[in-house]
Amino acid sequence: MNILVCVKQVPDTTSIKIDPIKHTLIRTGVPSIVNPYDGYALEMAARIKDKTGGKITVLSMGPEMAKDTLRECLGVGADEAYLISDRVFGGSDTLATSCIISTAIKLLEEKNGSPFDLIFCGKQAIDGDTGQVGPEISEHLDRALITYAYESQVEGDTIKVRRESDEGYDIVAAKFPAVVTVEKTPYEPRYPSIKSKLAARKATIPTLTSAEVIVDENRRGLKGSPTKVKSTYTAEVQKNGQTISGVEGSAAGAQLVGLLFDAGILK
């Protein structure tokens, strides 16, 4: 198995705020983390590797500091990592980003001499919430796409995915090569060992620039980004509910039932 996982470095949204005047994210001083959904995607890839063997490559696009994020991925099971970084790629929207990443994937596949069996992406980035890059990569590469994977298993040259639906869940399958976007799974991403963390710190992570990742200037950076953000806002936090305190056990249950009857929920 030859698997690639797309990873994005994002600001920790538990610490980030929005500028009240410019209505933009204040990223200064905010720690960066691995996009959580990408962490679940890497864990899904690692579980497949545990069963079938093979290699996991992680790929990210961003500034040089994003190599710290890639080293975290190496520490939890990825075998190699690449960073796409070049000033001309700055300001890319999701469409331009997917074009750049897809071009880099083709470059790595040429290096490997074969396509990746599976390409995993988180279903969305928590700092963008659009969920577009993964499906756009599948379109650029003309690969089968499965979205919102919850669990997966590989059988021969096919991946079978469990995907939750309003009726319960669906089982969706696709033959390799395929692109899969991953949501929060029933298992948490694994933690690195001290040995793997030390090895990841010493790992060499190649940087792919516009000299290798050749994308037309009309499809990269600000010039190749037709998306325009009209506004941003912070969702209002609504705290509803009532805390039952001072009682426990059956007494707490009786009080809860009484509150539900009073609210008209139980009749």
Q: Which two tokens stand for residue 248?
A: 């426990």
Q: Are both 248 and 126 inside the same structural domain?
A: no
Q: Are both 18 and 123 inside the same structural domain?
A: yes
Q: Are both 154 and 246 inside the same structural domain?
A: no
Q: Are both 253 and 183 inside the same structural domain?
A: no
Q: What is the mean pLDDT of residues 165-171?
A: 84
CA–CA distance, 171 with 149 (Å, rounded to integer): 10
Bridge partners (DSSP) of residue 83 are 60, 207
Residues of the chain with pLDDT > 90, as a percent, come to: 51
Q: Are both 41 and 80 inside the same structural domain?
A: yes
Report pLDDT for 83.
96
Q: Are both 19 and 98 inside the same structural domain?
A: yes
| 28-65: pLDDT as tens digits | 666 778 888 999 999 999 999 999 999 999 999 988 98
Which of 118-122, 160-164, 223-227, 242-246 is predicted with the least confidence, judged by mean pLDDT? 242-246
CATH code: domain of residue 87: 3.40.50.620
Q: Are both 136 and 249 inside the same structural domain?
A: no
| 172-182: pLDDT as tens digits | 999 999 999 99
Which of 22-36, 58-72, 100-114 is predicted with the least confidence, judged by mean pLDDT? 22-36
Q: Are both 187 and 265 inside the same structural domain?
A: no
Q: Are both 50 and 92 inside the same structural domain?
A: yes
Q: How many independent structural domains does the chain possess?
A: 2
In a domain, 247, yes or no: yes
In a domain, 175, yes or no: yes
Q: Are both 246 and 171 inside the same structural domain?
A: no
Report pLDDT for 234.
58
Q: Are both 42 and 147 inside the same structural domain?
A: yes
- Domain of 140 in residue numbering reads as 2-219
In a domain, 233, yes or no: no
Bridge partners (DSSP) of residue 55 are 2
In a domain, 36, yes or no: yes
Report pLDDT for 147.
93
| 144-154: pLDDT as tens digits | 999 999 999 99
Q: Are both 166 and 251 inside the same structural domain?
A: no
Report pLDDT for 115.
95
